[in-house]
């Protein structure tokens, strides 16, 4: 197996963005003394993994600002990761900015030797290759002219010729083939193909997708610092182009919506957040005869239920979302905006080489202990519980008749389910989720453990369950039909630009962020997703597999096609599959907050923010982040209804509109 020449492990790059423009040292000093200098942390790269073998050629694709050049600069050592590691086992020839090392006052002749010295070549070596460089760059007539008189194309030709006069171990190219005339680009391509055939490893950044497919045997797709997808060039590039087409159609609609926003119209509500809560409220506001405009700082609608279509597979971009509810009214409501399939959530847990059904039911217990009746299983669990509690009472000096109160999550879990279930299916999995041992986590995180003494792998007890056919995004689109939407803009920017364009705000972002973290940061857990398309029809045979052991760094793997039974919208079998590995990590400013850490300290801080929110004129807070609570999707809808009925003085009627 070829040795990796480049290893990027969970690497992040962070920049501090000043919230106030300071033009001089005096103002900087005054503001610093007054504690008026604040910075927003911006993660240009987030938990990136990249492993390159010797001789491979990797293309890096993504829109401007996605992190491609930042990743190259990190690999070359220009930037250091603030988290994670980068290991490079070879000499790099970087072509990130061709001619960046040239002295503008020196001639081309002088700059050839200067640039060669920067790359580590001796003068003798440069003299031996001088004619070759000049011939390739086609600059014989201009050798003794200052570089400052060269066009950008001429500088690029000279820079490329110097950088590629020998076969480096690693060649890094950032848009170098986008300059120069067609003849020069053809010769550059030929030179690069020659180097690749000689064993050079290539990292290639370009917006020219055909050249990426032609030159590379692997592709990594970045978006806003996140790895969206990696795999073979055609698969990843086609998914990227399909996504860009969708982005373009959204952009066209947004241009029309922007015209409406800028027309002088004053909206009744500005809804901050185009997730499920915001979409439901905006929908109900419009049905009640009010006007609303919806914004989101992400470049898409749907919030965390957002799904994208790749190779006819609906990918749950922010983790698995299975809609379930026992509320008939909620079920009928969502079915007005999408047709749901009959998917039943039946995850599997993998502990080392053992597989167990979830939730904990008779299938789980019979596999674990070889027991087959509920009576046997209940006796086994009670035996382990009683033994553990007796031991803990003895350690604490408690009498047998005294009550045992669990002090941490480990004690709570074992007192509910016994030692075997805890050790194999709870302990290491929970530690990965929360980033700390169960003995350091509060007991209340697990208030109860559902133990089912029936042979039933259905994870949820709810009466209604399923997933929208075609994904959640089209459902949210229908909820927002007729509502102006603007994505890629945050609340502060919109409020400053369109002040006076709305009467009230429905805010679904982080409540502490709204108040500029003046009382401190609320804590969250966040999730990183590593998505990969595989040229095989079936990877794991199930939509969700939890990895409960510590040997796997991810918490679970999602195989998206099985949410819709491995079929496309026409009912045909899908020849490929897409998987997402999920990694739980501690939230840092700049990351996407997922799960509120509802411990005593955070809830106390939230209550202080809640008091501020209640006094904020014209602003109502809702949703998971606005109220610092984790909600299932049906609970989000119910919360949005409650807000709508109170604010709009109306009742939610289901069946008042047909399927759209």
Which is more confidently placed, 482 or 589?
482
* Domain locations in the chain as residue ranges: 4-242, 264-342+464-648, 359-445
Place of tokens 């087959």: 372
Q: Decide whether 4-242 matches 264-342+464-648 in CATH topology.
A: yes
Residue 101 has pLDDT above 70, yes or no: no
Q: What is the DSSP letter of 217?
A: S
Q: Is the peptide bond before 359 cis (omega within 30 degrees of 0)?
A: yes
Residue 453 CB neighbours (<10 A): 15
Which residue from 99, 131, 128, 127 is spatially nearest to 115, judged by alpha carbons?
99
Residue 656 has pLDDT above 60, yes or no: no
pLDDT band for position 155 (cuts 50, 70, 90): confident
Q: Which of 136-140, 359-363, 395-399 has the lowest mean pLDDT?
A: 136-140
Tell me how far apart the 2 most distant CA atoms of the chain are, in Å: 99
279-290: average pLDDT: 96
Residue 657 CB neighbours (<10 A): 14
Angle between helices 152-163 and 123-137 (to 10 degrees): 130
pLDDT digits (tens, 9 = 90+) for 570-581: 889 999 999 999
Q: Is 167 exposed, middle or buried (0-12, 13-18, 19+ CB in 10 A)?
A: middle
Residue 659 has pLDDT above 60, yes or no: no
The Cα–Cα gap between 462 and 340 comes to: 15
- Residue 1 DSSP SS3: coil
Average pLDDT, the chain: 88
pLDDT band for position 46 (cuts 50, 70, 90): confident
Contact 239, 466 (CB under 8 A): no
Strands (E), 440-565: 464-466, 485-487, 502-507, 524-534, 544-547, 556-559
Pull the structure tokens for residue 373. Answer: 């009746």
Stated pTM of the model: 0.69
Which residue from 281, 265, 289, 287 is spatially nearest to 503, judged by alpha carbons?
265
Label each residue of 548-581 as H, E or C. Answer: CCCCCCCCEEEEHHHHHCCECCCCCECCCEEEEE
Residue 284 has pLDDT above 90, yes or no: yes
Residue 85 has pLDDT above 70, yes or no: yes
Which residue from 492, 467, 343, 364 is spatially nearest to 17, judged by alpha carbons?
492
Q: Which sign does the torsion angle of CA 612, 615, 618, 621 carry?
A: positive
The Cα–Cα gap between 74 and 81 comes to: 7
48-55: average pLDDT: 92
Contact 266, 253 (CB under 8 A): no
The Cα–Cα gap between 300 and 53 comes to: 35
The Cα–Cα gap between 419 and 360 comes to: 14
Where does residue 389 fall: left (phi above 0), alpha (psi -120 to 50 degrees), or beta otherwise?
A: alpha
Residue 1 has pLDDT above 60, yes or no: no
CATH of 4-242, one of 3.30.1330.10, 3.40.50.300, 3.40.50.180, 3.30.420.10: 3.40.50.300
Residue 132 has pLDDT above 90, yes or no: no
Residue 19 has pLDDT above 60, yes or no: no
460-466: average pLDDT: 95
What pLDDT sits at residue 40?
Answer: 63
Residue 482 CB neighbours (<10 A): 8
Residue 633 has pLDDT above 70, yes or no: yes
HSE at residue 435, side-chain half, CA atoms within 13 A, is: 11
pLDDT digits (tens, 9 = 90+) for 501-552: 999 999 999 999 999 999 999 999 899 898 888 889 999 999 999 999 999 9
Residue 391 has pLDDT above 60, yes or no: yes
What pLDDT sits at residue 193?
Answer: 79
Length of the chain measured in residues: 660
What pLDDT sits at residue 585?
Answer: 86
Residue 25 has pLDDT above 50, yes or no: yes
The Cα–Cα gap between 214 and 97 comes to: 22
What pLDDT sits at residue 559?
Answer: 98
Contact 348, 320 (CB under 8 A): no
The Cα–Cα gap between 212 and 62 comes to: 12
| Radius of gyration (C-alpha) of the chain in whole angstroms | 29
What pLDDT sits at residue 2?
Answer: 54
Pairing of strands 619-621, 502-507: parallel
The Cα–Cα gap between 223 and 229 comes to: 9
Residue 465 has pLDDT above 50, yes or no: yes
- Residue 9 DSSP SS3: strand
Which is more confidently placed, 242 or 495?
495
What pLDDT sits at residue 424?
Answer: 96
pLDDT band for position 378 (cuts 50, 70, 90): very high
What pLDDT sits at residue 160?
Answer: 79
The Cα–Cα gap between 362 and 452 comes to: 7
∠ CA(66), CA(67), CA(69), 5° rounding? Answer: 125
Pull the structure tokens for residue 230. Answer: 């990696």
138-163: average pLDDT: 82
- Residue 2 DSSP SS3: coil
Q: Which of 35-39, 141-145, 294-298, 383-387 has the lowest mean pLDDT?
A: 35-39
437-458: average pLDDT: 88
- For the domain made up of 264-342+464-648, give the CATH fold: Rossmann fold (3.40.50)
Per-range mean pLDDT, top range of 47-61, 182-196, 218-232, 632-646: 632-646
Q: Which sign does the torsion angle of CA 595, 600, 603, 609 carry?
A: negative
């Amino acid at each position: 197996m070829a040795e990796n020449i480049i290893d990027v492990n969970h690497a992040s790059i962070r920049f501090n963005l000043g919230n106030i423009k300071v033009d001089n040292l005096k103002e900087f000093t005054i503001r610093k003394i007054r504690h008026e200098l604040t910075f927003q942390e911006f993660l240009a790269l987030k938990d990136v993994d990249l492993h390159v073998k010797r001789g491979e050629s990797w293309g890096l694709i993504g829109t401007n600002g996605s992190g491609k050049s930042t990743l190259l600069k990190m690999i070359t050592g220009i930037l250091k990761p603030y988290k994670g590691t980068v290991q490079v086992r070879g000499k790099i020839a970087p072509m990130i900015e061709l001619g960046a090392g040239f002295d503008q006052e020196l001639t081309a002749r002088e700059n050839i030797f200067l640039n060669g010295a920067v790359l580590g070549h001796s003068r003798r070596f440069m003299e031996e290759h001088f004619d070759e460089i000049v011939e390739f760059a086609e600059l014989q007539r201009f050798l003794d002219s200052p570089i400052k008189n060269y066009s950008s194309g001429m500088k690029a030709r000279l820079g490329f010729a110097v950088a590629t006069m020998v076969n480096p171990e690693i060649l890094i190219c950032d848009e170098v083939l986008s300059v120069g005339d067609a003849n020069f680009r053809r010769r550059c391509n030929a030179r690069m193909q020659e180097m690749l055939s000689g064993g050079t490893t290539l990292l290639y950044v370009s917006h020219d997708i055909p050249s990426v497919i032609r030159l590379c045997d692997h592709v990594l797709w970045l978006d806003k610092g996140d790895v969206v997808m990696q795999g073979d060039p055609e698969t990843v590039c086609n998914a990227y182009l399909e996504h860009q087409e969708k982005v373009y159609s959204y952009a066209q609609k947004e241009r029309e919506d922007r015209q409406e926003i800028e027309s002088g119209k004053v909206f009744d509500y500005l809804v901050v957040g185009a997730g499920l809560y915001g979409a439901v409220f905006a929908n109900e506001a419009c049905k009640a005869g009010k006007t609303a405009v919806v914004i989101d700082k992400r470049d898409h609608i749907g919030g965390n239920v957002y799904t994208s279509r790749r190779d006819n597979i609906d990918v749950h971009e922010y983790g698995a979302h299975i809609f379930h509810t026992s509320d008939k009214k909620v079920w009928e409501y969502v079915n007005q905006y999408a047709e749901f399939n009959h998917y039943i959530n039946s995850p599997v847990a993998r502990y080392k080489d053992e597989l167990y059904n979830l939730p904990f039911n008779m299938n789980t217990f019979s596999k674990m202990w070889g027991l087959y009746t509920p009576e046997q299983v209940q006796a086994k669990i009670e035996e382990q519980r009683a033994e553990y509690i007796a031991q803990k009472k003895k350690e604490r000096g408690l009498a047998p008749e005294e009550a045992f109160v669990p002090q941490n999550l480990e004690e709570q879990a074992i007192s509910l389910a016994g030692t075997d279930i805890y050790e194999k299916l709870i302990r290491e999995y929970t530690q990965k989720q929360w980033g700390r041992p169960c003995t350091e986590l509060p007991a209340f995180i697990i208030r109860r453990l559902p133990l089912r003494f029936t042979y039933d792998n259905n994870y949820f007890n709810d009466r209604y369950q399923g997933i929208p056919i075609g994904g959640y995004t089209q459902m949210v689109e229908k909820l927002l039909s007729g509502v102006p939407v603007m994505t890629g803009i945050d609340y502060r920017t919109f409020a400053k630009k369109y002040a006076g364009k709305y009467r009230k705000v429905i805010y679904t972002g982080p409540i502490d962020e709204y108040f500029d973290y003046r009382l401190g940061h609320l804590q969250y857990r966040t999730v990183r997703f590593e998505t990969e398309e595989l040229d095989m029809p079936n990877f794991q045979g199930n939509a969700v597999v939890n990895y409960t052991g510590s040997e796997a760094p991810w918490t679970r793997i999602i195989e998206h096609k099985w949410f819709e039974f491995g079929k496309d919208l026409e009912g045909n079998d899908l020849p490929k599959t897409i998987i997402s590995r999920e990694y739980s990590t501690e939230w840092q400013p700049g990351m996407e907050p997922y799960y509120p850490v509802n411990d005593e300290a955070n809830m106390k801080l939230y209550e202080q923010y809640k008091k501020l929110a209640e006094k904020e004129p014209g602003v109502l807070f809702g949703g998971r982040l606005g109220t610092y609570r984790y909600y299932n999707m049906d609970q989000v809808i119910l919360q949005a209804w409650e807000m709508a009925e109170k604010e709009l003085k109306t009742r939610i009627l289901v069946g008042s509109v047909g399927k759209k």
